[in-house]
Structure 1
Amino acid sequence: MTTNPFDLTGKVAVVTGARRGIGMAMAEGLAAAGADIIGVSVNLEPTGSEISRRVEALGRSFTAYQTDFADRVAVTALGEQLAARQVDILVNNAGTIRRAPAAEHSDEFWDEVLAVNLSSQFVLSRAVGASMLARGSGKIIFTASLLSFQGGLNVPGYAAAKSGVTGLVKALSNEWAGRGVTVNAIAPGYIATDNTQALQDDENRSRSILERIPAGRWGAAGDLAGATVFLASSASDYVTGITLPVDGGWLGR
């Protein structure tokens, strides 16, 4: 009988930004594959959240942490707590976006977006990654973006942070892959979530986006689950340092 390389039974996965959208879909997908979930979000309810109900309905355990990823002290404390546990999978998904033309993009916007989308993810990966290295195994997955490859419009901080994520993935992979820890990223395309609501509501912008997507539709958060399970499982043990687009063909257009 062939062992299922996608089976995550017995694994513990941390998913940041798990309260809604892409993070919720990632956490649910990992739970469906057998992993117990530690969810982290700034406003995640200690009990009774939607994601906890979904994970527990799949027969897996769910533990909630509240953390503000713009607060370096709070992220450092979270890293210390998680490093004390056996975390097999870390999904760095928490993120934020602030929209304003570059000439009007405030220092506050820039600092917040870089703190949440890049700096906090390094701090958390450093702490959890060190414990993975000590055991000789682990999977770290970042959420990148199409703007890891392109510059976008009116989101200079977001584009800079998500470009930084792809560089961080390569840097960590170069150091850690030979010690049993793989590091990769997923780059979602245009996914129908709260973060893209302004684009969805702009009739002209939404139409121009759809015209470029060969799949002919906006992505759904659930479209990210399969890629997450793949990169979290033994099926991807020889895959590291990459950013995998899940974009309906956008980048190939």
Structure 2
Amino acid sequence: MSDLDFSGQNVLVVGGSSGIGNGVAHGFRQRGAQVHVWGTRASAGDYDGVEGSDLTGLTYACVDVADRAAIAAAARKPERLDVLVLCQGTVVYRRGEFAPEGWDRVMAVNLDSLMDCSMAFHDRLAAAKGSIIIVSSVSGFQSNRGNPAYAASKAGAVSLTKTLGEAWARDGIRVNGLAPGLVATKLTAVTTQHPDRLAGALRAIPAGRMGTPADMAGAALFLASPLAAYVHGQTLIVDGGLSLS
């Protein structure tokens, strides 16, 4: 059996309804896992026709992760869990994160909910000797001038990965992360859908292209697999070399 065969395992991808999370969800599904995803729309049908979203073969639930009570209610299922992927995220442009409302919303989704979700599933992951994968961003390692909450929350996600990686290793849970660079999603449309901005961004990427959800899925599959059995508390940067200079 391949080390990347997840047959018989239950995987939950929070934020798996579109973009990077959706790519990660299908990466696990294609390798045999039963995959659950949480998203923000009322039903799976509400994602029909949405670019970057394919819920075929995935079990969907609507959960507002900025609401602790909603997380607690939704986390009753699945009853067994092997892999928890935390890929939720939001951003407020036009300097909205400098205002308390924007700051609070971004921090609630991008950082607070990571801990809430991790705690909600801790016991099931410990029973399964499972793993958590926290998706942060290269913004967690550098300044993001217009988005202080986004940058701070992603830096916090990297630090949380280290801390939970140490704290829960003896519980049998491996906690690691991945930090994507530029990937075409709804959060990066401000760059990817403007040709001049995109051209400038691509010039800064040594690989010469944007990342894809499938690129991120490959990293997630590795981190959740036995191939990474001795990896704890690390965040793997997956950015085509963007952060090298």
CA contact (8 A) 1:136 1:179 kept: no
Structure-1 separation of matches of 2:72 and 2:37: 16
* C-alpha deviation, 1:208, in angstroms: 2.4
Amino acid across the alignment from 2:217: A
Structure-1 separation of matches of 2:33 and 2:193: 36
Where does residue 138 of structure 2 map in the other structure?
A: 146
Aligned length: 240
Structure-2 separation of matches of 1:48 and 1:116: 21
Does 2:117 match 1:119?
no
Where does residue 108 of structure 1 map in the other structure?
A: 101
Where does residue 164 of structure 2 map in the other structure?
A: 172
Where does residue 5 of structure 1 map in the other structure?
A: 3
TM-score by length of 1: 0.89
CA contact (8 A) 2:38 2:63 kept: yes
CA contact (8 A) 1:47 1:64 kept: no
Where does residue 43 of structure 1 map in the other structure?
A: 41
CA contact (8 A) 1:78 1:124 kept: no
Structure-2 separation of matches of 1:145 and 1:75: 23
Structure-1 separation of matches of 2:81 and 2:119: 13
Residue deviations 1:110-133 (CA, integer Å, cap 9, x gap)? 000000011011101011013222
* C-alpha deviation, 1:179, in angstroms: 2.4
Q: Percent identity of the aligned residues?
A: 36
* C-alpha deviation, 1:210, in angstroms: 1.0
Runs of 4 or more consecutive aligned structure 1 residues displaced over 4 Å after TM superposition: 46-50
TM-score by length of 2: 0.92
- Structure 2 residue ranges without an equivalent (≥5): 48-52
Judged with a 3 Å threshold, the aligned counterparts in structure 2 of structure 1 residues 98 and 48 are, in CA distance, closer, same or farther, namely: closer
Where does residue 59 of structure 1 map in the other structure?
A: none
CA contact (8 A) 2:83 2:125 kept: no
Higher share in helix = 1
Structural mapping, 1:7-156, within 5 Å:
7-43=5-41, 45-46=43-44, 51-53=54-56, 56=57, 62-79=58-75, 81-82=76-77, 85-101=79-95, 105-133=98-126, 135=127, 137-156=129-148
